[in-house]
Chains A and B, each alone.
Chain A
Amino acid sequence: MFGVGQVVRTMRIRAVVVVGVAALLGLGACEQGKGDGPAPYSSTYAPLPSQSVLLQGATVLTGSGERLEGADVALSDGRISAVGMELDTRTADVVDAQGLWITPGVIDVHSHLGVYPAPSVAAHSDGNEATDPNTAEVWAEHSVWTQDPGFATALAGGVTSLQVLPGSANLFGGRSVTLKNVPGRSVMDMKFPGAPYGLKMACGENPKRVYGRRSRAPSTRMGNVAAYRAAWIEADEYRRKATGAKPGQGKPPKRNLQLETLAGALDGEILVHNHCYRADEMLVMLEIAKEFGYRITAFHHAVEAYKIADQLREHGTCAAIWADWYGFKMEAFDGIRENAAILDRAGACTVIHSDSATGIQRLNQESAKVMGAAARVGIEIPPERAITWITANAAKALGIEAQTGTLEVGKMGDVTVWDGNPFSVYTKVVKVYIDGALAYDRDDPGGNPVTDFSLGTAARHGGAL
């Protein structure tokens, strides 16, 4: 949950609406930090050095649904300062972008980089606190190893922001964190300023398998649901006690990290990201949300989302999905490549995610798989539409759409430049700008980030970078 000071500094809109448990419990910057300066764990992200740049003459997919030909994109002071034809070149470094394609920086809403890093040795297995079905108290950021080589390869795939989630062993896996994909000595150096936290929930096979085989609850889907409801009842009570406590009257409840996170979700400050595969099960989860008055921001994986596209549209719940994973477990049996196309056509918020350190490097190709499959059944998805699945819609699912995800003027200068149509297998990322700074440049491999772990290996020179 935010320290209040951080919220004010980075995100004006949120500062107005934040009246949640943390604020009411007096857990703002001063109390938590015991002194001046930012609250503990808050973002220390500082953009890389940048100068004004004008990318000239490209095919531009804005992320807002438009495709511009021969257009320019200008970045200055870390922001997108202009998009259009024949922009003023006088105050910026001009980059000839003829033949190149420019899109918003790619955003992955489902990553385990850092918490399940490479090498995936047991000592690095930090993504599932699989010791209790409810570990809402853990924060994924406290597992993130910033030296995971996967961050650098994801950058080479055009990824500028990502959400790192706890795994799906638990019903409540803990808090997620949204990162800017820049190298950091600490996770705080990477935290996306002002991004809301997420709460990772998981339905279905994983929790009931993990705990059922230990002969404890949950061992069934109905056991899953009973445990969610019990936790929400407790969180609701905690929240009411907290909001009922006024200075000088009554005693606020003792601070409880688990309930604090759940209460934040009930308040809508923490976004619910729900791992769930089956259509029938997603509809049950929406009932639980109705019972306790919270919103499910996104179902993740959602391989059967296409069966309930209308319902997802009505609830305003995003489906963050793979293009074509299927068959690896029972609840993934009905996966089809047209999932995203059917959702998108129905007007549901559609996001292509990776959940994979290799997949995150080519979310553009994953989207292309859907485009091809959709075309076979007469659903034409042009590039300017498909790009929204890995940019604008992803930003919406993370609650950062006011800052990034499209090339609208004033947004963060998060931009990916490709050497052709991003939905071709032959296309590569040539430049990545994060907050207006050149974070990756294929033409200058020596200038690209190399994690400590990768020093002295071929990843320094290899196809990845």
Chain B
Amino acid sequence: MGIWLLAVCAAHAQTIAITDATVHTVGPAGTIEGATVLVEGDRIVAVGADVAVPAGAQVVDGSGKIVTPGLFSPVGALGLSEVGAVTGTNDAIQQGVQFAAGFDVAHGFNPRSLVVAISRMDGVTHAGITPQSGGASSQVFSGLGSVVDLGGAADAFLTRGAVVVANLGVRGSALAGDSRAAAVQVLRAALRDALDYRDNKTAHERGERRAYSVSQTDLDTLLRVLDGSVALMFNVNRASDIEGVLELAGDFSIRAIVLGGAEAWMVADRLAAAQVPVIVDGINNLPTNFDRLNARLDSASLLVAAGVRVAFGAAAQTHDARLITQSAGNAVANGLSWHQALQAITLAPAAVWGIDDQVGSIEAGKMANLVIWDDDPLEITSYPEQTYIRGVPVPMHSRQTLLRDRYLQIDSALPPAYRAPANPDPVPRFR
């Protein structure tokens, strides 16, 4: 164990220079050919064509390779859900009524999740982990979301409890007596209660105020929404419901994020004016319910053209977090520029979560979450050759690659169970 820790520390302290690569910084420097990215410890310290490589640095030849910021899956249940339909492995949904806005999924995050290892191999270096609604006793507020890196360590949080997820539209309707109007009223009542609580804390503690519609935990959480330190993420698709979100955000002076937004393109100008970002699925173009009648494949392109900040993601995206590159690529096929698409899976989600000072681009001072690609990262057939999280190269294998390697040759005399994996450390704790 002692040796292991030592190795980990050594890995941490390392200076790494990725040289001679095509670097898409997604920052002010744009794309740089023949560039070096210099990493010290967990930070990027320099990027450019003329960066000197210090003596002792570990040099990674990036010639012919593409380097991007690590990918950011903005929503989903990475580390919260292991097997979708298996009870006991899903912690993004709570069926009880103890908490609503204050339900904090961070307590359930498992950095050693097999899905985390699979996702980072495909270039996802950090992820928004968000509560989901589901079940009869779910509420209009789903709870608090956080951002983790996928490095496999317990201290994975880049930001904790930074958004509250709420459900309006058809989902909210199902949670509020089958009326979307009631869902809005539940939400507004809770925010009004929180305002009352803010202004009358002492009286409330003495029992001299009216009863509130939400618990103490929820009130404390909503206070942070009202003071702007926590954003409210609305799971909503219909244009009229998005207009309702804009009205509500104005009335309570809160920071709003639209999640879903199938019809957001129809109110793109208003979203842009209010600086409300949208997390879109990118691929689901079907009217799967009446909130999505005007869903279309080119909505990301329309939103960006109107000046809306767009990130790719879907509420239920966990095992598929790695597919954000496919969403981005399809958006390019439908009108979005390549650089805007890359931004929508790196810097834009970082800005949505308010951590674009830490991650999302390759700039000096930012966290060294990087991916070296064999080819165009948005192309389906491309793969990361190496993912770095906080400056540490992550193991490029997972339970899936172990299965793959076991069954690549099936004409063995021995049953598969006797075929030892080439790598004996399937779920490495590498830092």
Q: Which A residues lie at the B interface, using CB under 8 A?
A: 118-121, 149-150, 153, 205, 306-310, 325-330, 332-338, 342, 346, 357-358, 361-362, 365, 368-369, 371-373, 375-377, 423-428, 453-454, 457-459, 461-464
In this assembly, does B183 line the interface, its C-beta being within 8 Å of a C-beta of chain A? Answer: no
- With a cutoff of 8 Å between Cβ atoms, the chain A residues found around residue B301 in the complex are 463
* 23 A/B residue pairs, CB under 8 Å, sorted by A: A121-B290, A149-B287, A150-B286, A153-B286, A307-B407, A310-B411, A327-B114, A329-B86, A334-B403, A342-B404, A342-B410, A357-B288, A358-B283, A358-B285, A369-B380, A371-B380, A377-B408, A423-B380, A425-B326, A425-B380, A457-B294, A459-B285, A461-B296
Interface of B is mostly: loop
The answer to whether B332 has its CB under 8 Å from any CB of chain A is: yes
Who on chain A is nearest to B298 by CB? Answer: A463
Shortest CB–CB separation between residue A437 and chain B, in angstroms? 25
The reply to whether A338 and B329 form a contact with Cβ atoms under 8 Å apart is no
Q: Are B294 and A459 in contact (CB under 8 A)?
A: yes
Q: Given A119-B289, A309-B410, A377-B408 in contact, is the A329-B379 Cβ separation under 8 Å?
A: no
Query: Which chain A residue lies CB-closest to B398?
Result: A336
Docked pose: A355 CA to B353 CA in angstroms: 34
Taking the closest CB of chain B, its distance from the CB of A382, in whole angstroms, is 12
B residues in contact (CB < 8 Å) with A: 82-86, 114-115, 266, 283-290, 292-299, 301, 318-319, 326, 329-330, 332-335, 378-383, 400-401, 403-405, 407-408, 410-411, 416
B84 x A327 contact (CB < 8 A): yes
Is A121's CB under 8 angstroms from B286's CB? no
Report the bound CA distance from A454 to B381 in whole Å.
34
User: Known contacts A377-B404, A428-B333; is A371 also within 8 Å of B289 by CB?
Assistant: no
CA distance A372 to B329 in the complex (A): 15
A329 near B284: Cβ-Cβ < 8 Å: no
Q: A329-B86, A369-B380, A423-B381 are in contact. Are A118 and B288 (CB under 8 A)?
A: yes
Distance of B171 from chain A, by nearest CB (Å): 14
Asked whether B410 lies within 8 Å of A307 as measured between CB atoms, the reply is yes
Please give, as numbers and ranges, the residues of chain B lying within 8 Å of A120 by CB-CB distance: 288-289
CA distance A212 to B301 in the complex (A): 47
Contacts of A334 in B (CB 8 A): 403
Give the 4 A-B residue pairs with the shortest CB-CB distance, closest first.
Answer: A463-B297, A462-B296, A425-B329, A463-B298
Q: List 14 extra interface pairs beyond A205-B85, A329-B86, CB under 8 A.
A: A308-B410, A329-B83, A330-B85, A333-B83, A336-B403, A336-B404, A358-B284, A424-B380, A424-B381, A425-B326, A459-B295, A462-B296, A462-B298, A463-B334
Select A342's contact among B86, B285, B408, beta carbons within 8 Å. B408
Set of chain A residues within 8 Å of B283, measured between Cβ atoms: 358, 362
For A338, list chain B residues within 8 Å (CB): 404, 408
Residues on B with beta carbons closer than 8 Å to the beta carbon of A153:
285-286
Rounded to whole angstroms, the CA-CA distance of A425 and B342 in the bound complex is: 14
The answer to whether A327 touches B296 (Cβ under 8 A) is: no
In the bound assembly, the distance between CA atoms of A337 and B382 in angstroms comes to 13
How long is the Cα–Cα vector from A376 to B293 in the complex, in angstroms?
A: 40
**Which one of B82, B288, B294 lies within 8 Å of A462 (CB-CB)?**
B294
**How close is B35's CB to chain A, nearest CB, in angstroms?**
25
Contact of A372 among B266, B330, B334, B382 (CB under 8 A): B382
Q: Cα distance A121–B167 when bound, in Å?
A: 19
The answer to whether A337 and B400 have CB atoms under 8 Å apart is yes
From B84, B114, B292, B379, contact of A425 by CB (8 A):
B379
Known: A458-B296, A462-B294. A328 touches B85 (CB 8 A): yes
Contact of B380 with A121 in the complex, beta carbons under 8 Å: no
Q: Which residue of A lies closest to B331 (CB)?
A: A463
Judging by beta carbons under 8 Å apart, are B287 and A118 in contact? yes
A328 with B84: in contact, given A459-B296, A462-B297 (CB under 8 Å)? yes
- What chain B residues lie within 8 Å of A342 (beta carbons)? 404, 407-408, 410
Closest chain B CB from A389 CB (angstroms): 14
Are A327 and B319 closer than 8 Å at their CB atoms? yes
Which B residues touch A335, using CB under 8 A?
Answer: 400
Which B residues are in CB contact (< 8 Å) with A307?
407, 410, 416
Cα A327 to Cα B288 in complex, Å, equals 23
- Contacts A118-B288, A119-B290, A338-B404 given; indicate if A330 touches B298 (C-beta within 8 A): no
- Known contacts A426-B333, A464-B297; is A457 also within 8 Å of B287 by CB? yes
Cα distance, A459 to B285, chains bound together (Å)? 8
Chain A's closest residue to B296 (CB) is: A462
- Cβ–Cβ < 8 Å partners of B334 in chain A: 463
A138 and B196 CA atoms in complex are apart in Å by: 59
Q: Which residues of B contact A306 (CB under 8 A)?
A: 404, 407
User: In the bound complex, what is the Cα–Cα distance between A425 and B416 (angstroms)?
Assistant: 36
Structural contact, A372 and B400, CB atoms closer than 8 A: no
Among A119, A327, A424, A458, the residue within 8 A (CB) of B82 is A327
With a CB–CB cut-off of 8 A, which chain B residues contact A453?
287
Contact among A150, A372, A462 for B380, CB-based, below 8 A: A372
Instruction: Provide the residues of chain A in CB contact with B294, threshold 8 Å.
Output: 457-459, 462
Partner of A368, one of B84, B335, B381: B381
The chain A residue with its CB closest to the CB of B416 is: A307
Residues of B within 8 A of A310 (CB): 410-411
CB distance from B102 to the nearest CB of A (A): 29
**Quick one: closest B residue to A329, CB to CB?**
B85
**Closest Cβ of chain B: how far from A35's Cβ, in Å?**
41
Contacts of A376 in B (CB 8 A): 383
Q: With A and B bound together, what is the CA distance between A358 and B133 in angstroms?
A: 23
Q: Could you tell me the distance between the alpha carbons of A122 and B298 in the complex, rounded to whole angstroms?
A: 28
Give the distance to chain A from B166, nearest Cβ to Cβ, in Å: 23
CA distance A463 to B401 in the complex (A): 36
Give bound CA distance, A342 to B403, whole Å. Answer: 12
A118 to B294: give the CA distance in the assembly, Å.
12
Complex formed: what's the CA distance from A361 to B334 in Å?
A: 14
Contact assessment for B380 and A328 in the assembled complex, using a CB-CB cutoff below 8 Å: no
A-chain residues with CB within 8 Å of residue B329 when the two chains form the complex: 425-426
Chain A residues contacting B416 (CB-CB under 8 Å) are 307
> Pick the contact of A371 from B288, B296, B319, B381 — CB < 8 Å?
B381
- Write the nearest CB–CB distance from A403 to chain B, whole angstroms: 29
Min C-beta distance of A405 to chain B, whole Å: 23
Q: For A426, give its contact among B292, B296, B332, B404 (CB under 8 Å).
A: B332
Which chain B residue shows the least CB distance to A426? B333
Contacts of A424 in B (CB 8 A): 379-381
Say yes or no: A372 contacts B383, CB within 8 Å: yes
Q: What's the Cα separation between A371 and B284 when bound, in Å?
A: 23
Residue from B266, B333, B379 whose CB has the most chain A CB atoms within 10 Å: B333
In the complex, what distance in Å separates the CA atom of A326 from the CA atom of B115? 10
Instruction: Provide the bound-state CA to CA distance between A307 and B405, in Å.
Output: 11
How far, in angstroms, from A121 to B296 measured CA to CA in the complex? 19
Q: Hey, which chain B residues are within 8 Å of A325, CB to CB?
A: 319
B380–A368 CB distance below 8 A: yes
Report the Cα distance A153→B334, complex, angstroms: 14
Alpha-carbon distance between A338 and B383 when the two chains are bound, in angstroms? 14
